[in-house]
Amino acid sequence: MAFKKFADLESKVKGLIEHSHELKRRTAQLEDRLRDADARLARQQASIKRWEKERDWLRIRLRKTLEDLTSIQSNTP
């Protein structure tokens, strides 16, 4: 009887150890995915900044060109 209880306890401990190893493995996988996602986010944010800078530059150039065209039109008889 005591042997059976000990065997059951031993089996439960082994199960807990296996579960713990699985959780550690899964945690490592999730940490890797998080690092990858953080790296992608950083690249995307840098790309967004470049696009915003280019958009602002184009907006200024277009505004200047429109002002020049307006000036030409107003000087035309």
Signed CA dihedral, 52, 54, 55, 59: sign only: positive
Whose tokens are 């493995």? That residue is 25
- What is residue 2's predicted lDDT score, i.e. its pLDDT? 85
Q: What is the pLDDT of residues 1-34, one digit of tens each?
A: 788 899 999 999 999 999 999 999 999 999 999 9
The Cα–Cα gap between 5 and 8 comes to 5
Domain ranges for the chain, please list them: 45-69
pLDDT (tens digit, 9 = 90+) per residue, 26-61?
Answer: 999 999 999 999 999 999 999 999 999 999 999 999
Q: Is the pLDDT of residue 75 over 90?
A: no
Q: Rounded to an integer, what distance in angstroms lies between the CA atom of residue 49 and that of residue 52?
A: 5
Provide DSSP, 56-74.
HHHHHHHHHHHHHHHHHHH
